Amino acid sequence: MEFLSNVINGISLGSIYAIIALGYTMVYGIAKMLNFAHGDVIMVGAYVCFFMTSRYDMPVVVGILLSMFVCTVLGIVIERLAYKPLRQATSLAVLITAIGMSYFLQNAAQLLWTSNPKVFKSVVGDGGIQIAEGLYVSHVTLVTIAVCVIIMIGLTIFTGKTKMGKAMRACSEDKGAAQLMGINVNTTISITFAIGSALAAIAGVLLCSAYPNLVPTTGSMPGIKAFTAAVFGGIGSIPGALIGGVLLGIIEIFAKAYISTEISDAIVFAVLIVVLLVKPTGLLGKKISEKV
């Protein structure tokens, strides 16, 4: 039973990683950049939701929607101000800018909301379901998994069927050709950032519902792990983000349960290195061959 309970908890944690990883992977697929500030957008989303629901006593739904709205705008603004001018620059320059943006968000949050931890009230309440003896699953866990499934299905339909989704895939294949086909590349990139950031807000709310300690650096470690998950599954691939995220979550929970909490991170990263050694472009990543 303990095993089963760990699996469920792992899938739940992994679902959060997967939702964050989606933001990384979509942005990477289209803009070919590592958006290091993504983890901090999660934190902003969690703070917005916290203030709306705990301070101003708004309904949870309004809190979540507002937090998604704020993060979406934030994502678009970050992209326009900091990343768009660097479209032609080296990937390292973009990476450093993204790191700068991450520092900026963390420190701005610290100034605005101080570094005192906030206790986040779970958006789905504290209860849970006793499925069987020794198998208790909290509501947050179930909701997280359900939300992740819904998002995955939604995104798959969006990228596969809608015009915008097709434009995104076209841009990630070849920006120049996409532009020649009449696709507005800038708008497409902005929309990708918008979707990724809205997802980050959801991830932030879910993350803090499960682990209620909210500080300005809340987003950074889950951000790094989710990024790892995206690479694990093959960066640029949406199903890859799901598989990578869930696997990472399960490995982490199992390492915590059966080995040691302190070295669970080391185990997660060690597994990542081994996977990359066997499959250098991740589980579902495309093989890139250099043209000579």
Partner 1 sequence: MKGKKTLNKTSKNNFITMGGLLLVYVIVLILKEGGITTNLINGQLVPICAYMIMAISLNLTVGILGELSLGHAGFMSVGAFGGVFVGTLMQEVSDSKVLCLLVAVIAGGLMAAVAGLLIGVPVLRLRGDYLAIVTLAFGQIIKSIVNILYVGLDSEGLHVSFIEKCEVLDDGKLIISGAMGATGIRKLSTFTFAFIVLVVCLIVIFNLIQSRTGRAIMALRDNRIAAESVGINVTKYKLLVFSISAAMAGMAGTVFAYNYSTVAPTKFDFNTSILVLVFVVLGGLGSIRGSLIAAALLTLLPELLREFSDYRMLVYAIVLILVMLGTNNPKIRDFFAKMFARKKTAKEENANG
* Binding status of residue 290 toward partner 1 by CB under 8 A: yes
Residue 18 or 124 having the CB closest to partner 1 = 18
* Binding status of residue 180 toward partner 1 by CB under 8 A: no
The answer to whether 282 and 232 have CB atoms below 8 angstroms apart is yes
Instruction: Single out the residue of 1, 62, 99, 146 in contact with partner 1 (rule: CB under 8 A).
Output: 99
Instruction: Single out the residue of 88, 116, 163, 176 in contact with partner 1 (rule: CB under 8 A).
Output: 88
Q: Among positive and negative, which fits the CA dihedral 287, 75, 58, 118? A: positive
* Binding status of residue 156 toward partner 1 by CB under 8 A: no
* Smallest gap from residue 213 Cβ to partner 1 (A): 18
Closest CA to 252 of 237, 271, 274: 271
The answer to whether 219 and 58 have CB atoms below 8 angstroms apart is no
Q: What is the largest CA-CA distance in the chain?
A: 62
* Binding status of residue 100 toward partner 1 by CB under 8 A: yes
Residue 184 or 260 having the CB closest to partner 1 = 260
Question: Around 109, how many Cα atoms within 13 Å sit in the side-chain half-sphere?
Answer: 29
Question: What is d(CA 253, CA 246) in angstroms, rounded to the nearest whole number?
Answer: 11
Residues paired with 132 in a beta bridge: 135
Residue 142 or 276 having the CB closest to partner 1 = 276
Question: What is d(CA 245, CA 283) in angstroms, rounded to the nearest whole number?
Answer: 12
Residues 6+ apart with CB under 8 A from 70: 44, 45, 48, 201
Structural tokens at position 178: 């996409």
Instruction: Single out the residue of 108, 157, 177, 181 in contact with partner 1 (rule: CB under 8 A).
Output: 108
Instruction: Single out the residue of 1, 4, 89, 157 in contact with partner 1 (rule: CB under 8 A).
Output: 89
Judged by CB under 8 A, the chain residues 11 through 50 that form the site for partner 1 are: 28, 34
Structural tokens at position 89: 């620059």
By CB under 8 A, the count of residues binding partner 1 is 46
* Smallest gap from residue 264 Cβ to partner 1 (A): 8
Judged by CB under 8 A, the chain residues 208 through 227 that form the site for partner 1 are: 224, 227
Positions in the binding site for partner 1 (CB under 8 A): 28, 34, 82, 85-86, 88-93, 95-97, 99-101, 103-104, 106-108, 110-111, 224, 227-228, 231, 235, 260, 262-263, 265-266, 269-270, 272-273, 276-277, 280-282, 288, 290, 292
